[in-house]
Chains A and B, each alone.
Chain A
Amino acid sequence: MPKVHKKVDVVTIGAGWTSSVIGWKLGAAGHSVVALEIGEARWANPDFMHNHDPLRHEIRKALMYDISQETWTWRPNAGLPSLPIRQYGSFHPGRGLGGASVHWTAQFWRFLPADFQHRSHNIARYGQNKIPADMTVQDWPVTYDELEPYYDRVEYDIGASGAAGNLAGQIVPGGNPFEAPRSRPYPLPPHPMMIHAQMFADACNGLGYHPFPQPAGILSQAYRDVSGRVRSGCIYCGYCTRYGCEVDAKTSAVSTHIPAALQTGNYEVRTYCKVRRINVGPDGMATGVTYVDLLTGQEHEQPAEVVLVSSYTLSNVRLLLLSQSAKHPRGVGNDRNMVGKNYTYQLSKTPTTLVFEGHRFNEFAGNGVVQSLIYDFNADNFDHSNVDFIGGASIYTGSGQRDPLTSVTTLPPQGTGRRSGSGAAGSGSQAGAGTQQGGGAGQESGPPKDGQIATAGDVGSVAGRGTEWGRDWKENLRRNWDSTVGIGVQGEIQAYRQNFLDLDPTYKDSFGDPLLRLTFDFYDNERNMYRFLAQKCDQIGRAMNPTRMKTTPELDPYNIYQYQSTHCTGGAIMGRDPGSSVTNKYGQVWDTPNVFVTGAALYPQNPGANPTETLLALAYMAADAIRDRYFRNPGELLV
């Protein structure tokens, strides 16, 4: 028999960033909010005080979701079987108080006005034929102008760092000239750039492009945030992505919104609680959730007026699909088969790798935001009339925080002796060590060559398929580890009818519930866009005048084993009507109006930029709407 708790106003799935935003805003208005968190409580002090242990964090995934108990399955397309993601690869969802906001990189972006009118903008400018029939991109139900006040509020609440590029319509030198008008500058100045970031910026200026420093959710100076605490500026220790910040300079739910929510006295977090179902009553409305206390195995029911589906993108979609009832037999939000549609991702690759012999750039220091970027080839910032794709990417160099563990196995081979492998550079990952293959290229990928035997027992893919060894490898590490620089792209992946999420028919979690299945691959738009961007990376790389360089001209097929980006988006998308989406612009589920979804599952498709600032702005907007309007007419759809 489940233990039944007293009804609360809101129950949230997980105690991550959007949960704490809702808990803070609604808690301050006197609403009771309970957050059910699968992981542990953790704080900067003492949990992150002594954390500079790369093996534990980068290789053994100390802060990640426990995929031994529950993972995801993947297949490239519906014609191939799905297999479980048995060990971490493509993305890194978090676990514990604050969720992935604790171990994120903290690149902090507003989207562009055209991003919100993605379909209609491209058709208006380039014609109906620019968008293939299977490309299911949609417009958002919100505009940039509607979100701007929330973007502004979020930046000042946390203390964002950056250089304004467009202040109320005035272009400001040194910032991003392609950004949309902002009502105020960033509250804090941008972070200093690494040496190789400055070289990249100089080369871009020489080519007539417009480099600017990375906007960041890391404090560049001490700042009093919305929780009332004064937090330290960044100390550039070099242990950032995949670590918790020991000085709370990297903003997270744990540094800012959870303390603010707890101070209201109305936000309660229960740790080690795994939510298994949203419960639905005879009228089709949600009645609360069923969860299991992982420390005892005891089942609990938490009744609530509103259920906030606020965990990771993939977990949110899975919970909706698992919550099947007489009224919603295919799951909450799925009466019209819209859940799982428009699953997209971020294209995160390192097309070009440069070696500067004799230089040592200190790439081990800093964090993931001490870099320089250009937006000249992102989104629709350039004319697509004569190219065979839509969308684009930022191009960047200069991430710090490189660790040998995640970069030595993929350092581009330099030796000429017989002990060097072929070292065919495959798809790299992000430039700099913010990612798994910190060195970028040098990772062999692609199908096995002739004469090579591939069995399902191949463990090499995870081990990194770099091939250099022996004296050549050692000399390469000695000479080039801190002299090798990647030029990376972070860009769009369009939505397609054939890329989607559903429940796996075969594989289950430790409770016996089906895992979520990802059906996802790259298509022509991604390949054509990558080819174009790789040529730009090559051009910038040459202008940086390296000793040697290598560009990977073509995009390899998607694989699940290389870390690329944790920006999984879509699957429970927002839209203007129930025939094309799961929720309205507040994340309110069309067919179950007392269920709200937060986070990047709402995105009709992911623009080139990282999703975090926008999902916070959307959570601010939703929290205000729930507080000011929903509770006056519970159960009614917000307009």
Chain B
Amino acid sequence: MKTPPEQPPGMERRSFLKVAGSLALLVTACRPNPARSAQQLPNRVAPENPNSPLPARDTPTPFPPDQPPDTFQVFTPHEAATVEAATARILPGDPSDPGAREAGVVYYIDHMLSYHEGFNEPTYRKPPFAQTYQGTRPADRPRVVWVPADQIYRYGYQNILTPREVYRIGLAGLDRLANARFGKDFVDLAGGQQDTLIGLMADGQAGNFDRNLTAQSFFHNLRRHTAEGMFSDPIYGGNRNLVGYKLVGHPGAQRAYTPAQFQTEGEGLRRKPQSFEDLHTFNPGQRANDEVVLPVTGEDMQHKH
């Protein structure tokens, strides 16, 4: 693996100013407030019994996320500036027609990466991991499963890297690509040059950033997370001022529609877009199932037996 070229002195500081400069555009943007109601993720509890066959569980991810809205937990200032610049080419915009930069997508991605090494859905991580081959199947090796290169796509996510590592490696690779092609880091290129590099990655013409990461895969990740940051609820750090919802004409979190409303075209434009926390408190009238109490665990039932 090649080492990334040394950054010129002062790069971090300049990059940080770039980030700060972009933040100036966001002064009028709404920042997410704490959620009105606490929701818990599915329970993950560490076993109290040291002889338990269970592995120690992760600590639960707080909900809502507990980071201050405009800080980076994972990215260096230079990495943050690079992510912001790249996502702003994938979903471009300006203050009058907001895109990824104005939506705060880079904050969404940083917050996502700050828990569980960036894994934000249940992910099975046990080895052995797959390696691909072309032609004749290589000899057996411990901790390797050989899969034909033209079949691996069918198996979905099989990467040994964590999402956090994908970004560390991918962003360094993007700068290597930028320096090889244009002699500067990605953030210092003109928009058209940045587009050239994004296009090479998207079209599979930029090779590998690492033995475990193709440039095209890194593009797919950036694109997916751009979409997540643009269109998830603002409580997760992106979609500020609901600019993602407004772009596509989605009214966001609404309590209800009548058939007459959804059977008339353009209801999304007639409603004021709402975030998750704009929803009014819901009172169903009848407090369903309130009388039903279940034991938390089998242990509670011991007195019955």
Whether A83 touches B155, Cβ cut-off 8 Å, given contacts A259-B292, A409-B223, A457-B217, is yes
Most A CB atoms within 10 A — which of B155, B220, B265?
B155
Q: Is the CB of B232 within 8 A of A405?
A: yes
Task: Give Cα distance in the complex from A59 to B92, angstroms.
Answer: 23
> Is B152 in the interface zone, CB < 8 Å from A?
yes
Q: Which residues of A contact B136 (CB under 8 A)?
A: none
Q: Is the CB of B248 within 8 A of A404?
A: yes
Query: Which residue of A has the minimal Cβ distance to B130?
Result: A456
The stretch that binds A, out of B20-28, B175-183, B293-301, is B293-301
Whether A55 touches B233, Cβ cut-off 8 Å, given contacts A80-B151, A470-B92, is yes
Q: Is the CB of B159 within 8 A of A296?
A: no
Query: Which residue of B has the minimal Cβ distance to A300?
Result: B298
Q: Is the CB of B298 within 8 A of A293?
A: yes
> Is A81 in the interface zone, CB < 8 Å from B?
yes
> Is A113 in the interface zone, CB < 8 Å from B?
no
Output the least CB separation between B133 and chain A (Å): 10
Q: Which residues of B contact A360 (CB under 8 A)?
A: 249, 265-269
Q: Is the CB of A478 within 8 A of B265?
A: no
Task: Give Cα distance in the complex from A224 to B42, angstroms.
Answer: 31
Q: Which residues of B contact A560 (CB under 8 A)?
A: 154-156
Which residue from A86, A198, A506, A558 sits with its C-beta under 8 Å from B128?
A506
> Is B189 in the interface zone, CB < 8 Å from A?
no
The stretch that binds B, out of A68-76, A150-158, A523-531, A536-544, is A68-76
Q: Which residues of B contact A49 (CB under 8 A)?
A: 37, 282, 284
Q: Which residues of B contact A470 (CB under 8 A)?
A: 89-90, 92, 195, 198
Task: Give Cα distance in the complex from A229 to B288, angstroms.
Answer: 8
> Is B34 in the interface zone, CB < 8 Å from A?
no
Q: Is the CB of A87 within 8 A of B121?
A: yes
Output the least CB separation between B268 and chain A (Å): 6
> Is A459 in the interface zone, CB < 8 Å from B?
yes
Q: Is the CB of A455 within 8 A of B214?
A: yes
> Is A460 in the interface zone, CB < 8 Å from B?
yes
Q: Is the CB of A86 within 8 A of B125?
A: yes
- Beta-carbon contacts under 8 Å, B198-222 to A: 198-199, 202-205, 207-208, 210-214, 216-217, 219-221
Q: Is the CB of A53 within 8 A of B233?
A: yes
The stretch that binds B, out of A115-123, A128-136, A234-242, A621-629, is A234-242
The stretch that binds A, out of B2-10, B66-74, B75-83, B253-261, is B253-261
Q: Which residues of B contact A52 (CB under 8 A)?
A: 253-254, 276, 279
> Is A232 in the interface zone, CB < 8 Å from B?
yes
Interface size class of B (residues with CB under 8 A): 35 or more
- Beta-carbon contacts under 8 Å, A257-294 to B: 258-259, 262, 268-273, 291-294
> Is B272 in the interface zone, CB < 8 Å from A?
no
Q: Is the CB of A459 within 8 A of B213?
A: yes
- Beta-carbon contacts under 8 Å, A176-196 to B: 192-195
> Is B60 in the interface zone, CB < 8 Å from A?
no
Q: Is the CB of A366 within 8 A of B262?
A: yes
The stretch that binds B, out of A89-97, A200-208, A377-385, A599-607, is A89-97
Q: Is the CB of B276 within 8 A of A74?
A: no
Q: Which residues of A contact B96 (CB under 8 A)?
A: none
Whether A41 touches B195, Cβ cut-off 8 Å, given contacts A68-B125, A454-B150, is no
Task: Give Cα distance in the complex from A416 to B129, angstroms.
Answer: 39
Most B CB atoms within 10 A — which of A80, A403, A463, A506?
A463
Task: Give Cα distance in the complex from A477 to B199, angstroms.
Answer: 19
What per-residue 1/0 map shows which CB atoms of B101-130 lie under 8 Å from chain A?
Answer: 000000000000000000111111110111
Q: Is the CB of B262 within 8 A of A400?
A: yes
> Is B287 in the interface zone, CB < 8 Å from A?
yes
Q: Which residues of B contact A456 (CB under 8 A)?
A: 129-132, 147, 152, 158-160, 212
Q: Which residues of B contact A270 (CB under 8 A)?
A: 295, 297-298, 301
Q: Which residues of A contact B128 (CB under 8 A)?
A: 506
Q: Is the CB of A561 within 8 A of B156?
A: yes
Task: Give Cα distance in the complex from A471 to B199, angstroms.
Answer: 13
Task: Give Cα distance in the complex from A474 to B93, angstroms.
Answer: 9
Task: Give Cα distance in the complex from A198 to B263, angstroms.
Answer: 10
> Is A60 in the interface zone, CB < 8 Å from B?
yes
Query: Which residue of B has the minimal Cβ distance to A471?
Result: B92
> Is A84 in the interface zone, CB < 8 Å from B?
yes
Q: Which residues of A contact B263 (CB under 8 A)?
A: 192-195, 198, 362
Most A CB atoms within 10 A — which of B123, B128, B158, B230?
B158
> Is B139 in the interface zone, CB < 8 Å from A?
no
What per-residue 1/0 map shows which CB atoms of A530-572 lie under 8 Å from chain B?
Answer: 0000000000000000000000000001111100000000000
**Chain A interfacial residues counted at CB < 8 A:** 140
Query: Which residue of A has the minimal Cβ distance to B221?
Result: A463
Q: Which residues of A contact B161 (CB under 8 A)?
A: 457, 459
> Is B172 in the interface zone, CB < 8 Å from A?
no
Q: Is the CB of A50 within 8 A of B37?
A: yes
Task: Give Cα distance in the complex from A455 to B148, angstroms.
Answer: 10
Which residue from A362, A408, A459 sits with its C-beta under 8 Å from B265?
A362
Q: Is the CB of B202 within 8 A of A421?
A: yes
Q: Which residues of A contact B207 (CB under 8 A)?
A: 453
Task: Give Cα distance in the complex from A68 to B41, angstroms.
Answer: 14
Output the least CB separation between B50 and chain A (Å): 8
Q: Is the CB of B156 within 8 A of A271?
A: no
Task: Give Cα distance in the complex from A507 to B52, angstroms.
Answer: 20
Task: Give Cα distance in the complex from A87 to B158, angstroms.
Answer: 9
Q: Which residues of A contact B39 (CB under 8 A)?
A: 50-51, 53, 56
Query: Which residue of A has the minimal Cβ distance to B36?
Result: A50
> Is A632 in the interface zone, CB < 8 Å from B?
no
Most B CB atoms within 10 A — which of A36, A421, A456, A461?
A456
Q: Which residues of A contact B251 (CB under 8 A)?
A: 364
> Is A419 in the interface zone, CB < 8 Å from B?
yes
Task: Give Cα distance in the complex from A236 to B157, angstroms.
Answer: 34
Which residue from A83, A272, A296, A454 sits with its C-beta under 8 Å from B52?
A296
Q: Is the CB of B99 within 8 A of A561?
A: no
Q: Is the CB of B156 within 8 A of A66?
A: no
Output the least CB separation between B299 and chain A (Å): 6
Whether A296 touches B49, Cβ cut-off 8 Å, given contacts A270-B295, A465-B220, is yes
Q: Which residues of A contact B233 (CB under 8 A)?
A: 53-55
Task: Give Cα distance in the complex from A508 to B125, angstroms.
Answer: 11
The stretch that binds B, out of A316-324, A334-342, A443-451, A612-620, is A443-451
> Is A399 in the interface zone, CB < 8 Å from B?
no
Output the least CB separation between A51 and chain B (Å): 8
Most A CB atoms within 10 A — which of B37, B204, B235, B295?
B204
Q: Hey, which bits of chain A sit against chain B, CB under 8 A?
A: 3, 5-6, 36, 39-41, 43-45, 49-56, 59-69, 71, 74, 76, 80-81, 83-89, 95-97, 192-195, 198, 229-232, 235-239, 246-248, 254-255, 258-259, 262, 268-273, 291-298, 300, 359-362, 364-366, 370, 400, 403-405, 408-409, 418-419, 421, 445-449, 451-467, 469-471, 473-474, 477-478, 481-482, 506-508, 510-512, 557-561
8 additional contacts (CB under 8 A) given A44-B288, A248-B284, A273-B298: A40-B42, A60-B121, A63-B42, A69-B122, A81-B146, A83-B130, A448-B153, A456-B160
Q: Hey, which bits of chain B sit against chain A, CB under 8 A?
A: 36-37, 39, 41-43, 45, 47-49, 51-55, 63, 89-93, 99, 119-126, 128-132, 145-161, 166, 195, 198-199, 202-205, 207-208, 210-214, 216-217, 219-221, 223-224, 227-228, 230-233, 235-236, 244-245, 247-251, 253-259, 261-269, 276, 279, 282, 284, 286-290, 292, 294-299, 301-302, 305
- Can you give 13 contacting A-B residue pairs, CB < 8 Å? A39-B43, A60-B121, A84-B124, A85-B124, A88-B121, A95-B42, A273-B298, A364-B250, A462-B156, A474-B91, A481-B248, A506-B145, A561-B155
Q: Which 5 residue pairs of A and B lie closest in terms of their CB atoms, listed nearest first? A: A297-B52, A561-B156, A457-B212, A460-B220, A297-B49
